[in-house]
Amino acid sequence: MLEKQIELYAAFTNFVCDCSEPVLPMLTFAQKKGNVTFYEWKTGKVPVVVERPVVEEVTPEALTENTIDWGDFGKGTDDVGVNAGITVEDGIDWGISLDPTSEGADAGGIDWGESSVAPVEIEIVDVGTDCPEGVARGEDALSLLDNSQSRSQFIDELMELETFLTQRISEMGEEGDVVAMSQFQLAPSVIQNQTREHIQGMLSQVQDLLGRLTSLRMQHLFMIQASPRYVERVSEMLRQKLKQADILVLKAATMAERRQEALQEQSRLEPCVDLLAGRTRELQKLIEADISKRYHNRPVNLMGVNI
């Protein structure tokens, strides 16, 4: 999928920098081999046996397996105290004499441990030597996109390729002068035959792949695969969302009921409002007629009343 983009980037780098070092090693390897194991990327050999890491969940029962069982210590003692089975008698001979002239001073002295001790030898064992050759175990058994280290390198190289293509499109829009044309006369044909529209299509493919790998959905999938506890957190978050959705559904049903009640109340009060409006107009006419009689039948109109 990215063969043309990688070829263009490698040719451009070799032409400009005059170096033959490989560029985008992860993308080049994935383009040829596909999404193989990290072991094959690291060693260059196809594993004979693939042992993927098993993530075990820690249950509450497993947490109490290695705890100390104190039993019923301290229970069942009498009121006087705990009898530990030790009898103390007077005149105990501890075998220690404070008299330096005593005969047993050397024999009964304290051994402070000043005797010579043989040196302790520490043997360093290389971790991972017990894994036989051809066996992909642990993180090495994961694919390039499942392994966090190789996935980060894969995304970094995609961003590098995206930056190159973006810069190349910008430069091709300014290569109308003679200096720019003379610089690329000796360039390889893979560089000279490119058009701005073609490189724009290459850039779209890279951006599409990069967007799919860095999307929020893919991040959730990678985290779920790496940690079962993340699955529990996501499940708990989804359960909370579902509870909130149920609450909103109940609120929507309640609001619909209130709306229906308001419509019924409106239909019930509309005849009363019409009757009240008619009575108000009649009262308005009576007031206008009464005022007109008091002022020699002059026409009177009450303003500011709209019924």
- Which phi and psi angles does 86 have, rounded to 5°? -115, 125
Distance of CA 101 to the CA centre of its chain: 78
Is the full-model pTM beyond 0.75? no
Q: Per-residue pLDDT for 282 more than 60?
A: yes
Distance separating alpha carbons of residues 141 and 129, to the nearest angstrom:
16
Residue 57, pLDDT above cutoff 80: no
> How do residues 119-158 score in pLDDT, each as one tens digit?
656 554 444 445 677 788 888 888 888 888 999 999 999 9
The pLDDT of residue 169 is 87
Q: Which tens digits make up the pLDDT trace of 147-182? A: 889 999 999 999 999 999 999 888 877 655 555 666
- Sequence-distant (6+) residues with CB within 8 A of 161 are 2, 5, 6, 9, 24, 27, 206
* 251-278 pLDDT tens trace: 999 999 999 999 999 999 998 988 988 8
Average of per-residue pLDDT across 47-52: 83
